[in-house]
Structure 1
Amino acid sequence: MKQHVDMEVANMTLDKVVGSAHEAVADIPPGASLAVGGFGLCGIPMVLIQALLDAGVDRLSVVSNNCGVDDWGLGVLLAKQRIAKMTSSYVGENKEFERQYLSGELELELTPQGTLAEKLRAGGSGIAAFFTQTGVGTQVAEGGLPRRYNTDGSIAVASPAKPVQTFDVGGVPREFVLEEAITTDFSLVHALKGDRYGNLVFDKSARNFSPLAAMAGRICIAQVEEIVEAGELDPDAVHLPGIYVDRIVVVGSDIEKRIERRTVREGN
């Protein structure tokens, strides 16, 4: 009998499902740093983003591949000027992003896409920094990229120079730039399916940056379309183990999902 009770207590402790998105993000404070999964509008945690918007949290520092579009994704936070800094690799689909950045209202740390992915993965893996050839010989390594502008268009804050070191690779000396890992206070991701212990399965290309963003957050909040009981997921199908996930919100499969550009082919 005691063993049965102990197992029930253990299951309750491991159960990471919370009642609502608003409850899940309630302790995210002003000025927090966030890693947010998604690529364009694919695989973004829109329900969690909307809950964060409703909560009124501001001065956020956000790490994400991009910042959505003007009326969807992270763009809804940007439109209300809730984001103080973005660390991104692509920012080309959001006019308000351009306006805020060029007017000096928003700080931007522009990062090569593969480097951004590895910085998140390294942060989640306990790796402080790594060397990469990407960016060698450019302002990425040499510094000078505008991070924030003054209102008159002059550069208020520029990126610093990064250490560059030569390594012998296959008998050929090559230069590498040192990139520091990224960790954040929280991470927000969307998954197709999860179990109550936090193990997650992502859907095809919606997987994109999400496992890496989840790993980098000290507290990871995941919205899932479907929840199953522990043991129902094939271990080989799990894309992100539950050790990285702290809270799960079930949002259902009928949530709105947008695409950035619809391309159709003319009929035969």
Structure 2
Amino acid sequence: MDKVIATAAEAVADIAPGASIAVGGFGLAGIPRFLIEALLDQGADRLTIVSNNCGVDGVGLGLLLERRRIVRVIASYIGENREFGRQFLAGELEVELTPQGTLAERLRAGGAGIGAFYTPAGVGTLVAEGGLPLRYHPDGTPAATSRPKETRVFGGREMVLEEGIVTDVALVRAARADRHGNAVFHAAARNFNPAAAMAGRLTVLEAERLVEPGEIGPDEVHLPGVFVDRVVPLTPEQAARKSIEKRTVRTRPEEDAHAVVP
């Protein structure tokens, strides 16, 4: 029952080239950055990544992109990562863009053993009708496009069939976890992390704080330990190392009071 692994390097050592990996996080919030960095050092390539996006240039999954370790991505948007967009448009990377809520449910469904489900999201668009570019030729013309998906009407509303996602591995990050793998996520980090964890056949979790079994109350658990195989405790220094994707500032209230209105 003790699922603690001493280091991130040990925890990802057996991830094979060509593996499919679900990765938690949204932008840079809640990303398992130390597991990603350990995977970068480990060397596995030809990876298929399932994640909301690929972080930003030089951070998180952006590091794997820059080293050309990823060949296919299932995501909901390109985001702030210029290299992600460049590789996709240059024909170096296959990308399956999926509506954000649909992607979350595909991961959750895969983890719950549900093969497919119907949703109204994407009806009347290329998501359902097919023709969405998956890969480009270097000249900018589509090299591969998505296929049409089955649709049916429920309660007078047309819906499209989407398949659940199951991956070889999942990498996630939690604010707290116990030795049994029960986990709690903080604020915005409780985004794709629980769903990604459920989807992995092998799930590795990095924890900002490791606690003993029983310290997390049953009603506090966001992710039951049954979905977690390995827990990597972070040091306080590692837990505090977080990046801001987009920094915005505003003037202080006292400065606003003295502002001149034209």
| TM bracket, shorter-chain basis | over 0.9
Q: Deviation of residue 253 (structure 1)?
A: 3.4
Cα distance in 1 between the residues matched to 2:128 and 2:64 = 30
Using the size of structure 1 for normalisation, the TM-score is 0.92
* Residue in structure 1 matching 2:31, options 26, 29, 44: 44
1:177 is matched with 160
1:103 is matched with 90
2:245 is matched with 260
1:56 is matched with 43
Q: How does 1:212-231 map to 2 (within 5 A)?
A: 212-231=195-214
Q: State whether residues 123 and 216 of structure 1, in contact with CA within 8 Å, keep that contact through their aligned partners in structure 2.
A: yes
Per-residue deviation, residues 40-82 of structure 1 (Å, max 9, x unmatched): 0000000000000001111000000000011101000000000
Q: Deviation of residue 240 (structure 1)?
A: 0.3
Q: Deviation of residue 199 (structure 1)?
A: 0.2
Q: Say if 2:235 is the partner of 1:248.
A: no
Q: Say if 2:72 is the partner of 1:85.
A: yes
Using the size of structure 2 for normalisation, the TM-score is 0.94
Q: State whether residues 170 and 200 of structure 2, in contact with CA within 8 Å, keep that contact through their aligned partners in structure 1.
A: yes
Cα distance in 1 between the residues matched to 2:147 and 2:217 = 46
Q: How does 1:1-268 map to 2 (within 5 A)?
A: 14-168=1-155, 173-255=156-238, 256-267=241-252, 268=254
Partner amino acid, structure 2, of 1:106: L
Cα distance in 1 between the residues matched to 2:196 and 2:237 = 24
Q: Deviation of residue 92 (structure 1)?
A: 2.3
Q: State whether residues 189 and 223 of structure 1, in contact with CA within 8 Å, keep that contact through their aligned partners in structure 2.
A: yes
Cα distance in 2 between the residues matched to 1:187 and 1:163 = 28
Cα distance in 2 between the residues matched to 1:253 and 1:142 = 49
Q: State whether residues 188 and 213 of structure 1, in contact with CA within 8 Å, keep that contact through their aligned partners in structure 2.
A: yes
Partner amino acid, structure 2, of 1:32: A
Secondary structure in 1 matching 2:38? helix
Q: State whether residues 165 and 176 of structure 1, in contact with CA within 8 Å, keep that contact through their aligned partners in structure 2.
A: yes
Partner amino acid, structure 2, of 1:212: A
Cα distance in 2 between the residues matched to 1:147 and 1:252 = 40
Q: Deviation of residue 230 (structure 1)?
A: 1.1
- Say which is worse superposed, 122-131 or 252-261, in terms of deviation: 252-261
Cα distance in 1 between the residues matched to 2:23 and 2:5 = 19
Q: Deviation of residue 21 (structure 1)?
A: 0.2
Q: Deviation of residue 252 (structure 1)?
A: 2.6
Partner amino acid, structure 1, of 2:50: V
> How many residues are treated as equivalent by the alignment?
251
Q: State whether residues 224 and 252 of structure 1, in contact with CA within 8 Å, keep that contact through their aligned partners in structure 2.
A: no
Per-residue deviation, residues 153-199 of structure 1 (Å, max 9, x unmatched): 1111101100011122xxxx111100000010000000011000000
- Say which is worse superposed, 224-233 or 241-250, in terms of deviation: 224-233
Cα distance in 2 between the residues matched to 1:99 and 1:223 = 30
